[in-house]
Amino acid sequence: MRDTITTVTLNAAIDKTYYVPALVKGTVMRATEVLSMAGGKGVNVARVLHQLGHSDVVATGFAAGYNGRFLVDRIRESGIGAEFVEANGESRLCLNFIDAADSSSTEILEPGPQVEDEHIAALKSKVSELAQRSAVVVLSGSLPKGAPPSLYAELIELVRASGAEPFLDTSGAPLAQALAAKPAFIKPNEDEIVPLLAGQCDGNLFEGVKSLSTHGIRNVVVTLGGDGAAAIVDGAAYRVTIPKLQAVNTVGCGDAFVAGYAYGSSRGWSAEACLRHAAAAGCANALSTVAGDVKANDFEALLPRITIGEWLA
């Protein structure tokens, strides 16, 4: 029985969240609170898995320079294994400005360091090694400069060859290229899936998701923000409804959703149970001040408020 869940963050970051009284372009604003966390989508997934009670979590990816050392130290301090490949330059900062007036979030995401062929080769062998003891390997986020758009497809093949389930959460060209490698799970939001379906299925979301599912992707979930999610898992269609919430910070909700799903999937749970756990984690993240953070009491209170029904075409 494999207990490890590995997360791969190729473009890890320090996530900085600035709370400002009102965000007004072209003015000087003073932050009332600033929070810094180890981040990037896969790191957030790792943290939430650990908070949900999965003790054997390892985070890998590229880490560079002073920022890379900061984030590896923070990950280890939180009880998560960190086995990053060192790259040149500096890991990036991702900035999130939360406007207290309307709780809206404005993000500025740096492009990240340049990675070279030798780093990519080292990363591939690290992912293969970790996948051999993992139930699930979650691949998340954008690619750093120098990484080919085919990299996720190559990693999916490696993960599958090592006997683990490859989960993928990315967008744009890296997602489009990775679909042919048939990840076990994808979670685009509506904006991310529409370009993938351009010219197909007459823009019909249900038909689009169904076509991805019939092409060998076992778990296709589309997150719909405050409207919950829709999914096709092993051919069965589900509609996930979530409660109305007073969100504090919605950045990282998708990562928490992936963590909840991986938690259930690694335990062999039903699609309904995985979706419920995922949606409760995603909602709980919205109640925290920082990205990729789920408080146990919020999560427990939200679980019974998630409804899983049938998704009707």
Active site residues: 255
Backbone angles phi and psi of 279, in degrees to 5: -65, -40
Q: Which of residues 38-77 bind ligand TA6 (CB under 6 A)?
A: 39-41, 44
Interface with ligand TA6, residue 13, by CB under 6 A: yes
Smallest distance from ligand TA6 to CB 105, Å: 10
- Indicate whether 251 belongs to the interface with ligand TA6 (CB under 6 A): yes
The span from the CA of 211 to the CA of 206, in Å, is 9
Among positions 15, 165, 192, 298, the unique one binding ligand TA6 when judged by CB under 6 A? 15
Residue with the two structure tokens 């590896």: 72
Q: Which is nearer to ligand TA6, 175 or 271 (CB)?
A: 175
If you search the block for the tokens 């690290």, which residue do you land on?
A: 126
Place of tokens 């301090």: 77
Site string for ligand TA6, 16-45 (x = CB under 6 A): -----------------------xxx--x-
Half-sphere exposure in the Cβ direction for 123 (13 Å, CA): 29
Contacts of 165 (CB under 8 A, 6+ apart): 135, 136, 137, 159, 184, 185, 265, 266
Give the total of residues touching ligand TA6 (CB under 6 A): 16
CA angle 201, 151, 167 (to 5 degrees): 60
Closer CB to ligand TA6, residue 84 or residue 311?
Answer: 84
182 sits near ligand TA6 (criterion: CB under 6 A):
no
- Whose tokens are 């709370």? That residue is 19
Ramachandran area for residue 292 (φ above 0: left; ψ -120 to 50: alpha; else beta): left
| Minimum distance from residue 253 beta carbon to ligand TA6 (Å) | 8
The residue number whose beta carbon is nearest to ligand TA6 equals: 141
Binding site for ligand TA6 (CB under 6 A): 11, 13, 15, 39-41, 44, 94, 109, 141-142, 251-252, 254-255, 291
